[in-house]
Amino acid sequence: MHDPRLSPGLATSYKMDATPGRHTQMGSWSFEGGLCPQGLIPEGFEKYTYSGKGKAHRIISNNFHVANAAGQCMFAWIAVEPEVMVKSLTYTTGHEYTLEELDQMGARMAALRIAFNLREGLRNIDFAVPGRLIGSPPLEAGPLAGVTVDIDTQVREYLEEMGWNPTTGVPEKETLVGLGLDNVAAALHG
């Protein structure tokens, strides 16, 4: 269930989440495995088509960061429509939220988590995902025979969607400022 050769989006989560290598960080793999709130992403995709998943990975990951921070059970997150979390946060705080605001909240959380790693000298872009995990070399037999995950395309497109540098993995200054993280932008970019 947690093999990127079965759900290729896991490779992106395993490499690019601030706490890498965890299957409990949602992303495009959640959709691939049928573990995504219905209606969260506007359109589907074929799991073995590696290009075109960046936006879905961003939306799912950001939404799950908010659900996680709000204390929502990941199984409940999977089972309810996205508007349930919007209403829950609205009723709890008195501020009327939108799904777009939740996406921005999740993007801030993701940027802060990565900024912490960068401050400590860790760049996710440098983390190596073992070849065996992504089918390099591919298996010669079994249900996943011949599968090699194109992790580079998935990671690059995710970083572009997040507004992070696709070469360094560092959130761009404009992205951080746009998220209201001017202090983080100054720390990372001077």
Whether pLDDT at 1 is above 80? no
Q: What is the mean pLDDT of the chain?
A: 95
DSSP 80: S
Q: What is the mean pLDDT of residues 123-145?
A: 96
Query: Please, which pLDDT band fits residue 44 given cuts at 50, 70 and 90?
Result: confident
Q: In the chain, what is the straight-line distance between the N-terminal and C-terminal CA atoms, in Å?
A: 43
Query: Please, which pLDDT band fits residue 43 given cuts at 50, 70 and 90?
Result: confident
Q: The whole model's pTM is what? A: 0.95
The span from the CA of 166 to the CA of 159, in Å, is: 5
SS3 164: strand
The span from the CA of 45 to the CA of 170, in Å, is: 27
Which H or E run includes 98? none
Map out the domains of the chain with their CATH numbers.
Answer: 9-189 (1.10.599.10)
